[in-house]
Amino acid sequence: MAIERTLSIVKPDAVGKRVIGKILSRFEDNDLQVVAAKLVHLSKVQAEQFYAVHSERPFYNDLVNFMISGPVMIQVIEGDNAITKNRDLMGATNPSEAAAGTIRADFASSIDENAVHGSDAAETAEQEIAFFFKPEEICEYTR
Ligand code: IDP
Ligand code: MG
């Protein structure tokens, strides 16, 4: 399997519940390494641009307003098969459908406030990482 990087966001609901550490532990416990991270309060423009792919969806305005309702923890995580592995650790978009033991099953309360974002494919991972991080902000580790 190839080493990949993906973008992960701990959303405002989970930051507010003070479970940043528990969520990042899920990645670390599953051989995904945090290679860049920052806590930020997104601007409305940033949230609109980040979720532009959903701009025609009925939930877009609610999603943007939720994402700017408090700080978010944004990280690049790296490891074997990181994109799919992160999606598997996250669980389904709707926490009521998320498998037991997934991040969303354990920490999310609704489809609107579902604890985490994760890139869904190689192309979006690359775009989303570049949206938030300059290349020099991503660390190289000797494994
Ligand atoms: P994902 O986060 O699992 O990749 P997407 O379909 O990409 O799910 O949707 C992005 C985000 O938009 C979701 O995480 C969720 O916060 C929100 N969202 C998606 N579908 C709905 C919906 O039907 N109602 C309300 N919010 C939604
Ligand atoms: Mg998505």
pLDDT tens profile 46-84:
999 999 999 999 999 999 999 999 999 999 999 999 999
d(CA 39, CA 54): 23
State the distance from the centre of ligand 2 to the C-alpha of 54, rounded, in angstroms: 9
101 conformational bin, left if phi > 0, alpha if psi -120 to 50, beta if neither: left
Whether residue 131 has its Cβ less than 6 Å from ligand 1: no
Question: HSE (CB half, 13 Å, CA atoms) of 132?
Answer: 28
CA angle 97, 51, 86 (to 5 degrees): 45
Taking the CA of 110 as reference, the closest ligand is 1
Please tell me which residue in 5, 85, 104, 117 is annotated as part of the active site.
Answer: 117
Structure token pair of residue 134: 């300059």
Residues of the chain predicted below pLDDT 50? none
- Predicted confidence at residue 48, as pLDDT, reads 98
- Predicted confidence at residue 77, as pLDDT, reads 98
- Predicted confidence at residue 36, as pLDDT, reads 98
Element (H, E) at 86: helix 82-90
- Predicted confidence at residue 143, as pLDDT, reads 59
Predicted TM-score (pTM) of the model is 0.97
d(CA 42, CA 1): 34
Mutate to test the pocket of ligand 1, among 55, 68, 93, 104 (most ligand atoms within 8 A of CB): 93
